[in-house]
Structure 1
Amino acid sequence: MTDMTSNASPDRARASELGPIQRFLKATEIDPRMLGMLGALLVIWIGLHIMSGGLFLTPRNLWNLSVQSSSVAIMATGMVLVIVMRNIDLSVGSVEGVVGMLMGFAQVHFLVRMMGLPLGDPWIWIIALAIGVAVGLLIGALQGFIIAYLDVPAFIVTLGGLLIWRGAAWWITSGQTIAPLDTTFQLMGGGPRGSIGATWSWVVGIVACLAVALMLINGRRQRKRFKFPLRPIWAEAFIGTVIGVFILGAVWIANSYPWPVGIVRRYAEENGIAIPEGGLFIAHGIAIPVLMAVAVGIVMTFIATRTRFGRYVFAIGGNPEAANLAGINTRWITMKVFMIMGVLAAISAAISSARLNSSTNSLGTLDELLVIAAAVIGGTSLAGGSGTIAGAMLGALLMQSLQSGMVLLGVDSPLQSIVVGAVLVVAVWLDTIYRKRV
C-alpha cells in the first residue's frame, strides 16, 4: 500500500506541473503530430476557401476532393510500411499506369473482342480487376525479391521500375488511349452511379459510429484485463464524440451534393418519375472509391498494429540488425511489403482509370511524389521505425487539398509541382526537428 501511494504521488506531482494542453493530450493520448496536421489541414481549407471566393468548402468540391484523394490515400497506406522499413518505392505511379493500361486492355480487347464476352457481362470487371491485382502482386514480388535477396538498394530498383513500367504502359497499346471501360467497372471511379445514395450513406455512417463506440469499449476492457493505464471516462467520451461528429458530418456533406440536372432528368424518364416544380433532388451520398479507401485503411491499420507481420515491420525499421538476430526473416518480410505495395497500386489503378473511364499512358504520372509526400507529412519517419496509416491518409487528403485548391485558383501546373516539392521538403525538415526533440 505504501509503495502504491509513493508511486502515485510523483505521478500526480508531475501531472500538476503540466499545462492544460499537455494534460489534455496526455489524458486523451492524442498524437501531437496528428493534431498539428489536422490544424494545418483546417488552416489550408479556410485559406483556400477565402482565396477561391467561397468555392472550396462546398459540398461539390469536398465530394470531388474525397474521390480524388482515394487512389493516393490507398497507395500511401502501403508506402507507410515501405518507409517504416527504411526503404522507398519510386515506382508506384508507373505501376499504377501499367496495371491500369492492362486492365483497360483486358476489358476492351482481350475479354470482349478476343474471348467473345458480351458487353456488360458481369464477369468482365471481375476478371479485369483480378488481372490487375495479380500483375501488381507479381511486380511487387519481383522488385521485393531483387531488393531483399539480391541486396540491390530499393532506391535503384524502384527508380528502374519507374522507367520500366512507364515504358511498358506505353508499349502495351503503343501509347493509344483505351476507352470506354466496362460500365460496372466505372462504378469504382465514383460519379452519380458510383455512389451509394443518401439512405445507405446514413446507414454506413451510423454503423461506423457504433463500431467506434464498440472499439472504445473493447479497448477499455482490454486495458483493464492486462492492467494497462486507463484513459479518463471523459477522454473516452470526447474521442468517441469527435469521431462520431466527423463521420456524420462527412455523410451530411456527401448527401448535400445533388446529381446534375441532366442526369436527374434522364433518370426520372427511365424510371417514370415525375419531376416536381422545384426540381428533383437526388443526393450522391458516399462515393464507392471513398468506401474502398476507408476499407483499405482499416485493413492496413489492422495489419500494421494487430498482426505479427506488422510488429516485425516496425521492429525491422527500428533496428534491422537486432531484428535479424532475433530470428525475424527480414528478407521475406521486405519482399511481402513490396508485394502489398504492388496490390495497393493495382487497386488505385482501378479507381483512377474507372474515374476517367479510360486507360491512358499518363495514368499515375508523378503520383509517386504525392504518395511519398502523403506518408511523410502523415508522420512516417524516413529514418524508419515509426508511422501511422491514418496519418498517411490524412497526408493524402492534405496534398490533394493543395492540388485541388491550386486548380480552383488557376495556378499553372509547373507552379503546382513547385508547391508539392516545397511541402515535401518542409515535411521532412519538421520530421527531423521532431525526432531531435524526442
Structure 2
Amino acid sequence: MSDQTTQPTGSKPEAEGAVARFFRETELDTRLLGMLGALALIWIGFHFYGQMFRGGGFFLTPRNLWNLSVQTASIGIMATGMVLVIITRHIDLSVGSILGFCAIIMGVVQVNILPQYLGLGHPLIWIIAILVGIICGTFIGAFHGALIAYGKIPAFIVTLGGLLVWRGAAFLVARGETISPVDPTFALLGGGPYGAIGATGSWIVGLLGCAAVLGLIIMGRRKRNSFNIAQRPVWAESFIAIVGCGAVIAAVLLVNAYPWPRGIVRRYAEANSIEIPDGGLFISHGFAIPVLILVAVAIFMTILMSRSRFGRYVYAIGGNPEAAELAGINTRWMTVKIFALMGALTGLSAVVASARLGSATNALGTLDELYVIAAAVIGGTSLAGGVGTIYGAILGALVMQSLQTGMVLIGFDAAMQQIVVGSVLVLAVYLDILYRRKSK
C-alpha cells in the first residue's frame, strides 16, 4: 500500500493562509511553539538587559546555559510526575519536603551507616544510597495516595500535612545538622566538570538523538500507513526532521563550548602527566549527568503516558473520574500508583539535588513544591484535569529557572524574584483558562 499524503480539497488552500496551512500540515503544537517563543524572549531580554545596564550580556553564554540546564534538572524531574497528579485533579504540596527528607536519609545511609559495614569508599555505597532514596520517596508517595484514595481525605490536606511532617522528620533524623561529604561517585550525579560526559560522549548522545528523531518520523509514517491514516506531506516531515536534528546538534555544540575552569584543568593535567600547551588546554564539559537523567526520565514518562494503558487511564480519570470508574478503571488504586510514582521521582530528584550540593541539609527542597506546580501549569497542564504533557512540564521548569537565573544575573533581590514568579504563575493559569474557553 502506498503512502497517502494530506491533500486539501475544494477551495481550502485559497481560504486558509500560508501560516495556517503550515501548522495544519506539520501538526505542530501551537502551545509548545508559544512556550518556546516566550522562552526565547526571556533569554534575549535578559541578555540585552545585561549588555545595556550591567556591562555585558551574560545570559546567552555557554557557561550560563550549561548551568541553567543543570539547575533545571531537579525541578524538571519532579514536574514530570506532577503532570500526572494534576491531570487526575489532585495536587501535591509535599514534594519539596519529601525531597529534603529523602536527601537526609540518603546522607545518613552513605555517611553514617554503610561505611561502618562496607568500609569507606566501597563502590556499592552510592548505589545503595540511591535505591534507599528512591524507595523511601516511593513509599511516602504511596502512603499519601492511600490516604487520598481509600481514606477519602482531599489531596490538598494530605500533602499540606506531608509538607510539614516530612520537613520536621528530616530535622529530627539529622538533628538539624548538615550531613557531608557525600560519596565521591554519588557527587558526580550532581554535575560539575567531573559530573559530565565530555565532548566525545556528548557527540555520541547527539547522534543517538538524531537517530531517534528520524526513527520516530519513519515509525510514525509506517503506523499511519498501517491504519490507513493520511500522511503528512514529505516537506513537513523533512522540516520536522531538520529542526529536530538541528536542535540536538545545537545542544551538543553548546555544551561542548563550555570548557573546564583553568584550575581544574591544571590539577587534571598534573594528575595525568599531561603537558599544558602555551594557549591552554581546552576540555569540554559536555552534557551534565543531571541533564541526561532528566532526558531519560522525560523519555520514560512520555512513553508511559502515550504508549501504555496506565497513561490512558490517567487521562481518562482526569477527563471524567466517575465515567472512568464506571468503565472499570480502579481509580483508587490508580491514585495510589500515581502518587507512588510522584514519590519515586521526588526521590530521584533528591539524588540530583543533594549530589549537586555535595551534602544533605534540612533546608534542601524548600519551596520546590511551588516551583514544580508552577512548571507543570506553565507547561500547559490544566488544573481542571485531563490535560497535560511531559515535554510541556519540562519546558515550564526551564522557563521558571530561566526567570530565576536571569533575575539573579541582573541584580534583582529575592523579594522581586518571588513577585515575578508568582505573577507568572497566575498569568499562566489565566492563559490556560482563556485557551480552554476558545477550545470549546
State TM-score, norm by structure 1. 0.96
- 2-structure distance, mates of 1:101, 1:361: 7
1:169 matched to 2:183 = no
- 2-structure distance, mates of 1:90, 1:128: 25
The aligned counterpart of 1:319 is 320
The aligned counterpart of 2:90 is 87
- What residue identity is the alignment partner of 1:172? V
- 2-structure distance, mates of 1:168, 1:16: 66
Taking the TM superposition and a 5 Å limit, the aligned residue runs for 1:120-199 are: 120-199=121-200
- 2-structure distance, mates of 1:103, 1:259: 29
1:293 matched to 2:287 = no
- 2-structure distance, mates of 1:175, 1:261: 36
- 1-structure distance, mates of 2:349, 2:13: 46
The aligned counterpart of 1:282 is 283
The aligned counterpart of 1:64 is 67
Give the CA deviation at 1:229.
2.4
The aligned counterpart of 1:105 is 108
The aligned counterpart of 2:58 is 55
- What residue identity is the alignment partner of 1:86? R
> 1:196-238, CA deviations, whole angstroms, 9 ceiling, x for partnerless residues?
0001100110111011101110111000100122111111111
Q: Unpaired segments of 5 or more residues in structure 1?
A: 1-6
- 8 Å CA contact 1:324–1:330 kept in 2: the answer is yes
The aligned counterpart of 1:20 is 18
- What residue identity is the alignment partner of 2:156? F
- 8 Å CA contact 1:197–1:283 kept in 2: the answer is yes
- 3-state SS of paired residue (2:359): coil
Give the CA deviation at 1:22.
1.4
- 8 Å CA contact 1:27–1:231 kept in 2: the answer is yes
- 1-structure distance, mates of 2:407, 2:304: 35
- 1-structure distance, mates of 2:175, 2:288: 33
The aligned counterpart of 2:393 is 392
The aligned counterpart of 1:30 is 28
The aligned counterpart of 1:346 is 347
- 2-structure distance, mates of 1:435, 1:95: 33
- 8 Å CA contact 2:84–2:338 kept in 1: the answer is yes
CA shift in 2, pair 1:15/1:97, >3 Å: farther
- 8 Å CA contact 1:120–1:184 kept in 2: the answer is no
- What residue identity is the alignment partner of 2:68? L
> 1:107-137, CA deviations, whole angstroms, 9 ceiling, x for partnerless residues?
1101114x2x222211000000010011001
- 1-structure distance, mates of 2:328, 2:193: 52
- 8 Å CA contact 1:205–1:248 kept in 2: the answer is yes
- 3-state SS of paired residue (1:392): helix
- 1-structure distance, mates of 2:196, 2:292: 9
Q: Unpaired segments of 5 or more residues in structure 2?
A: 1-5, 52-56
- 1-structure distance, mates of 2:120, 2:13: 67
- 2-structure distance, mates of 1:341, 1:269: 45
Across the two proteins, how many residue pairs are aligned to each other?
429
Give the CA deviation at 1:178.
0.6
- 8 Å CA contact 2:104–2:362 kept in 1: the answer is yes
- What residue identity is the alignment partner of 1:17? A
- 2-structure distance, mates of 1:8, 1:42: 34
- 3-state SS of paired residue (2:223): helix
- 1-structure distance, mates of 2:184, 2:7: 64
> 1:342-378, CA deviations, whole angstroms, 9 ceiling, x for partnerless residues?
0000010000000010101110111111111111111
Percentage of identical aligned residues: 61
- 2-structure distance, mates of 1:233, 1:81: 34
The aligned counterpart of 2:249 is 248
- 2-structure distance, mates of 1:411, 1:180: 32
- What residue identity is the alignment partner of 1:214? G
Give the CA deviation at 1:8.
7.5
